[in-house]
Amino acid sequence: MSPFEQLKYQIALSLIPGIGCANAKRLMASLGGIPEIFKASKKQLLKVPNIGELKALKILESDVLGRAEAEISFIEKNHIQHAFYWDDHYPVRLKRCVDAPLMLYWRGNVNFNAEKIVAMVGTRNATSYGRAFCEELVEAMAQRGGYTVVSGLAYGIDVAAHKACLKYEVPTLGVLAHGLERVYPSLHRSVADRMLSDGGLVTDFISEVEIERTNFLRRNRIIAGLADATIIVESAEKGGSLVTADIADSYNRDVFALPGRSTDSYSKGCNQLIKSNKALMIENLDDLEYAMGWQQAIDRPSKIQKQLFVELTAEEQQLVDVLDVQEVYIDQLCSKVKMPMGKVSSILLALEFKGLVISLPGKMYKLS
């Protein structure tokens, strides 16, 4: 199959209403590939787990292949980068989410697998307190290095976080609730254009999609899914950023909230998150790094020193060699050392007992 045909079927599959990533994987596994899904009979579709009458009819009645071809023309004309769920360059953190989008599109100089990715979101009605916190936190990130900030390019806290990143040269990603043919709100076009040189704009929407309220919920799951941790800077008692906090929690990602005075309306949501133990309190970057285990190591023993004092098996040494370069998620580690998950987990546990490895939130590991 040509790359054009493959991409056409991938985009088309993502456009069928109500299918999603989990069902798409079931369909591909049962029917042998994406083109086969579109060629299958109703009887064949109904044999696939969780594909009932309604979903089968949506597949059979879908007229998405032509729309997918039109989207490829847009992608090629505008130099849009893209990834299907199973592609190697699909974001690792997002791929772990049960409702990860099948297709992702982006512009810019994007590193989805950067060392430390943090989402910063909050109210559209940001106060000077919230904006100042964004600037102070991002300035500290710039001084320590290794950070990328994700937000939604919306009014208020979102754009304040992006602007702080541009000021202090911290890579930043803006997740959109529409296609890449526009920027909404249009007032943020200049900010978005500047973000392309060190960061970028990301979406799972094709071009020319109407901007609807439900789009922002879809956007929020990508913001949370791309990040190791989500920080709610300011929020009223109800708001979209609280939904993002719930999504991040459902992904087993850490959530942080900036506390404020009880009389401040746009601190009430954050205070409630902290009081109900749904978020950790954050006042500065030290709070984030302590909770995430990201403190900079001081005089960390070298690999040679470890080998002098601790006897390692060949397989243990393999893992240590990988971890000596950077913190790694367990599934990345399995891929790098070409061992099954159960075996790697067992070896990691042994290394933890030997005091060589530390387990971090989100199934990530690093050398102690």
CATH label of the domain that carries residue 23: 1.10.150.20
pLDDT (0 to 100) of residue 296: 66
172 shares a domain with 251:
yes
What local confidence, expressed as pLDDT, does residue 362 receive? 63
Residues 65 and 176 grouped into a single domain: no
Shared-domain flag, residues 61 and 187: no
132 shares its domain with 264: yes
The domain that holds 141 is classified in CATH as 3.40.50.450
Domain co-membership, 122 together with 187: yes
Q: What is the pLDDT of residue 76?
A: 96
Q: Are residues 172 and 281 in the same domain?
A: yes
Indicate whether 275 and 134 sit together in one domain: yes
Same-domain status, 132 and 234? yes
Is 86 part of any domain?
Answer: no
Q: Is residue 224 part of a domain?
A: yes
pLDDT confidence of residue 8? 95
Task: Examine residue 88 and state whether it is found in any structural domain, yes or no.
Answer: no
Closest among 180, 182, 188, 183 to 159, alpha carbons compared:
188
Based on the domain organization, do 232 and 272 belong to the same domain?
A: yes
Per-residue confidence (pLDDT) for residue 311, from 0 to 100: 82
Identify the pLDDT of residue 1: 78
Helical axes 65-77 vs 3-15, angle rounded to 10° = 120
What confidence score (pLDDT) does residue 300 get? 41
Mean pLDDT by 10 residues, the chain (368 residues): 91 90 86 90 91 90 92 96 93 92 95 95 95 96 96 96 96 97 93 95 96 92 97 93 95 96 94 96 96 68 46 88 83 84 76 77 75
- What pTM does this model have? 0.78
Residues of the domain holding 173: 107-292
Q: How many domains does the chain have?
A: 3
My answer on whether 272 and 308 are in the same domain is no
268 and 130, same structural domain?
yes
